[in-house]
Structure 1
Amino acid sequence: MGILQAIPQNLHRVEVEGEPLWFHIPTTSLFAPDALSEELLSLADRAEGLDPGALPGHLSQDIGHEDVRARLEQLKALKLITDGAVQAYNPTVEVEQFPLSTVVLNVNTGCNLSCSYCYKEDLDNPRDGKKMDLATAQSSIELMLREAPQRDRYNIVFFGGEPLSNMPLIREVVEWAEQRIHGLGKAVDFTLTTNATLLTEEKIAFFDAHRFGLTISMDGPKAIHDKNRIAVNGQGTYDLVARRIKPLLANYRSRPVGARVTLTRGVTDVIGIHDHLVNELGFAEAGFAPVTSGDMAAYNLTSEELQTVFDGMVALGERAVAAALEGRDIGFGNFNQLLTDLWEGRSKAVPCGAGLGLVSVDHAGDVHLCHRFTGSDMPTFGNVDDGLDHDGLKQFVEARADRSERGCADCRIRNLCSGGCYHESYARYGDPMTPTYHYCDLMRDWVDFGIQAYARILRHNPAFLDGPLAGRQSA
């Protein structure tokens, strides 16, 4: 074993309640190091490195030679030290299969709302909406089954426009898909995001009977919601939405119902919005999506507003930690997702499953990377009749995963962020290959907060991670 050097880009040190904690960047794992590991790594981090032959005599502790050697081998296995050249971060992804678990069906381009910030490039008014037919939906599902016959569970997402404007198709697809997929001895889940204006008690009962995962697009109290979420006649929709969701939130039993909040310029009150949606209206969870890359710059948050939003998220996150220590989940979606990523040790070479585990199909049967690209100028990747464009998807995913020349090599969250959302990059920079640089500093701070929060919960109430948090994921 030659001179040992530390590999600093693979470790991020934090301190939690006065105790050191290691965030192992390659695996997104957390370790509570002992004094020996800390000292050995500190010695290896010097310019001259660490000479194993001079140990253990130079250590402050009385440690046997074999114990020191064993610990050094552990640090080498974790790629925290090396006796060779320090290798630059250069991820390689080789895509050989496309194990689809999810297909997004864009059932109608028409929408009865005219939200000012909507990113959908194929959006039509209700009269001109292009509806998917049953044959296209069936072919989309068959495509998923062909690509991933090994899966035990599949997910079908209904999207729009407003998906409830093509409710007859949703009913037909559910009946057919359950028969088809259950007939294979496999399970199927259904997911739907809706503006809720077309909800009825009869539809709610249908969704409940088939265990739909429902998300309602709602931006907060009336003044905030009505600012951007307006009907095609220019009227605000808060009163209608609040009325429609009342029986949903009172009677829906199969799965928790969440709210998706879009934050635009001038809207930064994360805590107030969350309080209204969760504590006053009764949503199980609220998640926040800041707008920074919309086509209309007037709706994008300024850098100062974005900082305010993240400060609010941290403040709400502190409330979530306090509740978790008491065994309660306050329903803060972004925080719960971050905790889940850390708890499961997710280490990602790509930011999401788009193009690998998920594809989106438009009304004509063309395949898109995800639902956010439907109607955009991005190339499509095959169609449901001819199949996936495997070569095109392979080239895209492998090229995007290579961020060695894009400033990610030394980033401590490189395997959590993985360059950020493809569509966010496409909208902001005109190139889905470009990492979402405008989020970098804030995301690093957010993950640091998450590490601290996770460690505190793990230390004082680990049952929360196996209880409320695990229950959220299984739902």
Structure 2
Amino acid sequence: MQNDALPFIHLFKTYENTYVFDINSNAIFKIPKYVYDDLEHYLNNKKITFSCDKSKEIIEMMMTNGLLSSHKWKYMEHPSTSIIPQYLKTSVSTLTLQITQACNLMCNYCPYAGSYHNRKHSSKKMSFETGKRAIDFYVKHAVDVESLNIGFYGGEPLIEFDLVKRLVEYANDTYKGKKIRYHMTTNATLLKDEIIKFLDDNNFNLLISLDGPKEIHDKNRKDSQGRGSFDRILENLKYLQQNYKDFASKINFNCVIDPSLDFDCLHKFFTDYDTVKNYYTSFNYINKQNIIEDKFNPTENYTIKYKYEIFKLFLFLIKRLDERHVSKIVKSYYSVLFSTMKERRTVSFSETEYGHHSGPCIAGSHKIFVDTEGNLFPCEKVNEQSKSFIIGNIWDGFDVEKASKLTNIGKLTEKQCLSCWNVNFCYLCCVFSDDNGTLSANAKLTQCKNLKRDTEEMMKDYCYLKEMDFTYDDEVFRII
């Protein structure tokens, strides 16, 4: 056994058991405490010793079966790099149009409202010719896509409703042989009968921003005069639900959580309030990257109550609690936990020369975001005021080299990534490398500590459920 070739593993504990995560196989193994101690000693001292014959037997058995390998990639490269040109040519899934950079609200945490270093609202809006050209460009590059997906984004896109209407009519008339799905992200303050009817007639899906009850929502989501927007939104929602019942079923809500506020109040609103309780709501925390002043830190009370709701979620999963007692806010954690842990795939034991951490999509293939001037970006989350994220334009086409660079963002931190135990679970894409308009290794690396902590906590929670006899099939969870 070579002592200079340390196994590429990560060790962790739950309250009762000890585990090893084997990076090369992507498998989690429950191991006896004496095996855990010997492996920990091996990693810390670069020398293998066995505390007992049984430990030696188990460790050697694992190695014989291809586990505890010291193999690491020699360099970073996204496995889809060679086919990026083909993806961009025929397989662009979604088009998102930045109809305007203006908004009728000035939300405290909005990237465009002056709270961040890199973005601000402006009076810029997309011309009809630019929007039309963007749609034509998208359709040309989506020949292998079963149905077209066109989204409208802002600012607040309904400020430019006439433009939205003209572009939808253009797409419908020009591409009659294509199935087109439309979607829009809106603050819903400008919804009125004419607009609702048009959206309904054209089969739109709406994502409406709503942060909770009035006292929570209005704290951050205000207009330029400092007035809250909750009452206007609820009035419009009730009108829509009463007069367009079928269309109302296509609404989803997006709640941006401010953890400095009251958890119970937020939970009760989305659980009990008639206008929203029967709808799907996604819950997201405020993005802290490039924020000027962080005023959104969680209170101790919020953290305690959130963890208690996670505990209730686990009780539900092991059939000790009825689902109606589980907060919608933590159900999203359940989805993330199982999409991350249960649905992970086994990794081949073959010693590949290269790979890439998870996280980046193929820039421009999953989605293209077109700003008001016709520039192409990987998605609406990037800083469109930075030239680093421009991957072409609707007149000259894709800049394949830049799309490849953003897809291969792991090269920016290659040395650290090649030795990171979290490489299979890392979600850091180019968005997390933004440092006021430039791609920065340091900006990306500042995310790593918290990301590894979060992954380990998910591993522990996943194993806790196993320990409590929660039944699910998993080919990559073993007991030694």
Name the structure 1 match of 2:158: 164
Aligned mates of 1:209, 1:38 — CA distance in 2: 64
Q: 1:309-329 CA distances to partner (integer Å, 9 max, x unpaired)?
A: 666654443333334445747
Q: What are the within-5 Å matches in structure 2 for residues 262-277 of structure 1?
A: 262-263=257-258, 267-277=260-270
- Once the 2 structures are TM-superposed, how far is the Cα of residue 371 of structure 1 from its aligned partner? 1.8
Name the structure 1 match of 2:69: 81
User: Which secondary structure state, in structure 1, belongs to the residue aligned with residue 414 of structure 2?
Assistant: coil
- In the alignment, structure 1 segments of 5+ residues that lack a partner are 52-56, 466-475
Contact 2:98–2:372 (8 Å) recurs in 1: yes
Name the structure 2 match of 1:236: 228
Contact 2:78–2:408 (8 Å) recurs in 1: yes
User: Which secondary structure state, in structure 2, belongs to the residue aligned with residue 257 of structure 1?
Assistant: strand
* Residues 433 and 370 of structure 1, relative CA distance in 2, 3 Å threshold: farther
Name the structure 1 match of 2:380: 371
1:361 to 370, 374, 396: 370
User: Which secondary structure state, in structure 1, belongs to the residue aligned with residue 237 of structure 2?
Assistant: helix
Q: Is residue 91 of structure 1 aligned with residue 76 of structure 2? A: yes
Aligned mates of 1:21, 1:208 — CA distance in 2: 52
User: Which secondary structure state, in structure 1, belongs to the residue aligned with residue 434 of structure 2?
Assistant: helix
* Residues 35 and 319 of structure 1, relative CA distance in 2, 3 Å threshold: closer
* Residues 59 and 341 of structure 1, relative CA distance in 2, 3 Å threshold: closer
- Once the 2 structures are TM-superposed, how far is the Cα of residue 153 of structure 1 from its aligned partner? 4.5
- In the alignment, structure 2 segments of 5+ residues that lack a partner are 113-118, 346-355, 475-480
* Residues 386 and 428 of structure 1, relative CA distance in 2, 3 Å threshold: closer
Aligned mates of 1:385, 1:338 — CA distance in 2: 42
Q: What are the within-5 Å matches in structure 2 for residues 182-331 of structure 1?
A: 183=177, 188-200=180-192, 203-204=195-196, 207=199, 212-247=204-239, 251=245, 252=247, 254-255=249-250, 257-263=252-258, 267-280=260-273, 281-282=276-277, 283-297=279-293, 299-301=294-296, 305=298, 313-326=306-319, 328=323, 330-331=327-328
* Residues 445 and 176 of structure 1, relative CA distance in 2, 3 Å threshold: same
* Residues 14 and 158 of structure 1, relative CA distance in 2, 3 Å threshold: farther
2:125 to 127, 130, 135: 130
Aligned mates of 2:453, 2:187 — CA distance in 1: 32
Contact 2:72–2:419 (8 Å) recurs in 1: no
Q: Is residue 449 of structure 1 aligned with residue 457 of structure 2? A: yes
Aligned mates of 2:181, 2:306 — CA distance in 1: 30
Name the structure 2 match of 1:468: none
Q: 1:320-361 CA distances to partner (integer Å, 9 max, x unpaired)?
A: 333444574743365133432333327953445554422210
User: Which secondary structure state, in structure 1, belongs to the residue aligned with residue 108 of structure 2?
Assistant: coil
Contact 2:360–2:409 (8 Å) recurs in 1: no
2:98 to 91, 94, 106: 106
Q: What are the within-5 Å matches in structure 2 for residues 330-349 of structure 1?
A: 330-332=327-329, 334-335=332-333, 336-345=335-344, 348-349=357-358
Q: 1:120-158 CA distances to partner (integer Å, 9 max, x unpaired)?
A: 33523xxx451342x433433443344453333443221
Contact 1:93–1:401 (8 Å) recurs in 2: no
Aligned mates of 1:220, 1:320 — CA distance in 2: 21
User: Which secondary structure state, in structure 2, belongs to the residue aligned with residue 193 of structure 1?
Assistant: strand
Name the structure 1 match of 2:10: 11
The answer to which of 372-381 and 354-363 deviates more is 372-381
- Once the 2 structures are TM-superposed, how far is the Cα of residue 12 of structure 1 from its aligned partner? 4.2
User: Which secondary structure state, in structure 2, belongs to the residue aligned with residue 371 of structure 1?
Assistant: coil
- Once the 2 structures are TM-superposed, how far is the Cα of residue 26 of structure 1 from its aligned partner? 5.5
Contact 1:131–1:166 (8 Å) recurs in 2: no
- Once the 2 structures are TM-superposed, how far is the Cα of residue 159 of structure 1 from its aligned partner? 0.6
* Residues 331 and 359 of structure 1, relative CA distance in 2, 3 Å threshold: same
- Once the 2 structures are TM-superposed, how far is the Cα of residue 287 of structure 1 from its aligned partner? 0.9
Contact 1:25–1:415 (8 Å) recurs in 2: yes
Paired amino acid for 1:344: E
* Residues 451 and 205 of structure 1, relative CA distance in 2, 3 Å threshold: farther
1:396 to 400, 406, 422: 406
Aligned mates of 2:64, 2:135 — CA distance in 1: 49
TM-score relative to the length of structure 1? 0.73
- Once the 2 structures are TM-superposed, how far is the Cα of residue 197 of structure 1 from its aligned partner? 0.4
User: Which secondary structure state, in structure 2, belongs to the residue aligned with residue 108 of structure 1?
Assistant: coil
Q: 1:357-398 CA distances to partner (integer Å, 9 max, x unpaired)?
A: 222101221112432446513342221121111122223332
* Residues 138 and 435 of structure 1, relative CA distance in 2, 3 Å threshold: same
Aligned mates of 2:77, 2:418 — CA distance in 1: 13
Instruction: Tell me how many residue pairs correspond in the alignment.
Output: 434
Paired amino acid for 1:101: S
Q: 1:28-69 CA distances to partner (integer Å, 9 max, x unpaired)?
A: x55344779968994976744489xxxxx9446989xxx976
* Residues 349 and 424 of structure 1, relative CA distance in 2, 3 Å threshold: closer
Aligned mates of 1:49, 1:301 — CA distance in 2: 47
Q: 1:262-321 CA distances to partner (integer Å, 9 max, x unpaired)?
A: 538xx3444532432344342422412224235532x4445xx48876666544433333
User: Which secondary structure state, in structure 2, belongs to the residue aligned with residue 110 of structure 1?
Assistant: coil
* Residues 447 and 203 of structure 1, relative CA distance in 2, 3 Å threshold: farther
Aligned mates of 2:200, 2:53 — CA distance in 1: 66
User: Which secondary structure state, in structure 1, belongs to the residue aligned with residue 151 of structure 2?
Assistant: strand
Aligned mates of 2:7, 2:241 — CA distance in 1: 49
1:31 to 21, 28, 31: 28
Name the structure 2 match of 1:413: 422
- Once the 2 structures are TM-superposed, how far is the Cα of residue 447 of structure 1 from its aligned partner? 2.8
Paired amino acid for 1:376: Q
Q: 1:204-255 CA distances to partner (integer Å, 9 max, x unpaired)?
A: 5654565544322223332332223212333111211222233556745654
Paired amino acid for 1:223: E
* Residues 436 and 395 of structure 1, relative CA distance in 2, 3 Å threshold: closer
Paired amino acid for 1:236: G
- Once the 2 structures are TM-superposed, how far is the Cα of residue 414 of structure 1 from its aligned partner? 3.6
Contact 2:92–2:142 (8 Å) recurs in 1: yes
User: Which secondary structure state, in structure 2, belongs to the residue aligned with residue 75 of structure 1?
Assistant: coil
Identity over aligned pairs, percent = 21
- Once the 2 structures are TM-superposed, how far is the Cα of residue 106 of structure 1 from its aligned partner? 0.4
- Once the 2 structures are TM-superposed, how far is the Cα of residue 160 of structure 1 from its aligned partner? 0.2
Contact 2:18–2:32 (8 Å) recurs in 1: no
TM-score relative to the length of structure 2? 0.73
User: Which secondary structure state, in structure 1, belongs to the residue aligned with residue 185 of structure 2?
Assistant: strand
Contact 1:105–1:362 (8 Å) recurs in 2: yes
* Residues 364 and 254 of structure 1, relative CA distance in 2, 3 Å threshold: same
* Residues 7 and 103 of structure 1, relative CA distance in 2, 3 Å threshold: farther
